[in-house]
Amino acid sequence: MSARPQPPAKITVLGAGSWGTTFAKVLADAAAEARAERNVCLWGRDPEAVERMARERRNERYVPGIDLPAALTFSSDLSEALDGADLVVAAIPAQALRAQLEIAAPAVAPGAVVLSLAKGLESSTGLRMTQVIAEILAEATGVPEQDWARRTCVLSGPNLAMEIAREEPTASVVAAPEHETAAWVARCCAAPYFRPYTNTDVVGTEIGGLVKNVIALCVGICDGREYGDNSKASVMTRGLAETTRLALALGGHTTTLSGLSGMGDLVATCSSSLSRNHTAGRLLGAGLSLAQVQDAMTQTAEGIKSAPAVLELARRHGVDMPITEAVVSVLRGETPVHELAPRLLGRDLKSEGNTA
């Protein structure tokens, strides 16, 4: 696509969960900082919840205690929310994205740019989120899939929603096939407390963001088993190695995995009590069954659904991912959590290199 020198007149965020609400706040604050005449609209599917947010200027269920910008608008009507949107932000959980976007797609403008916030692989197809988006929009609009792929971006990095909602400073990466598109999106979300970098490695950025959820499950299990920092640091380091192997096999770049969407996101997700995947792993490590963990979680831990798809993708490309394989075995009930460490430590000795 050609460069987009004009800022968008309207941005619509689809999904009013914790990250969608937080990112809508980021976009509205960025517009205010730039003194831009821009409509930022947050769409949610529950009319009562949306009306309450509009009235109270808060989303107490997902980002409690956070005042939302006065300029932010709200809608539960997809056609109304998407009408005139130059940038559409998909803040929908990975496994729900296809179904939700199929409903929304007819209202998306054929020339819009789409930004994915989801970090996961579609469990039924093994597709990355940008691939799912381009496929669905092509089917709905008649615009060729490769054209949508050029205008579909991903944002990733250390994105713990509550910290960002509290305006604690952070940085992330916007990745798009063309630099001009990534830079255009980055300018839209450059708030005083939120710094977006750019790259053109969509594959590496997405793989870093989705595999770290699986590694965070393993680190959480270590916490649940009351293992120390050595154990957790070892899992994180070797987890980054296997994430990098998969990204390289799919065409990603090493530098991406050593940056914000790789190591940065991994450290945040594996270390924070705010991380859903770390929390789910900790509960597993403490002895809860997978069903009990899912009942206890109020929000989606993407790694639980994505892990088997990640392992299948790795096997198709001949990539060795022992931590992912062990986590999948635990999730399937094939390996008790107390056998996770012996399984990982009992592997053949080899070089530390990422290709080993």
Give the catalytic positions in this structure.
Answer: 212
- Rounded to whole angstroms, how far apart are CA atoms 351 and 343? 18
Strands (E), the chain: 10-14, 39-43, 73-75, 87-90, 113-116, 152-156, 170-175, 194-199
Structure tokens belonging to residue 323: 């931590």
Q: Are 209 and 303 in contact (CB under 8 A)?
A: no
**Element spanning 44, H or E:** none
- Whole-angstrom CA distances from 19 to 29, 117, 167, 283 are 15, 8, 13, 22
Strands (E), 165-253: 170-175, 194-199
Place of tokens 């979300």: 189
Q: String of b and e for 287-309 (b: at least 16 CB within 10 Å)?
A: ebeeeebeeeeeebbbbbbbbbb
CA contacts within 13 A on the Cβ side of 260: 20
- Rounded to whole angstroms, how far apart are CA atoms 73 and 197? 27
Q: Are 91 and 17 in contact (CB under 8 A)?
A: yes
Q: Which residues partner with 13 through β-bridges?
A: 42, 89
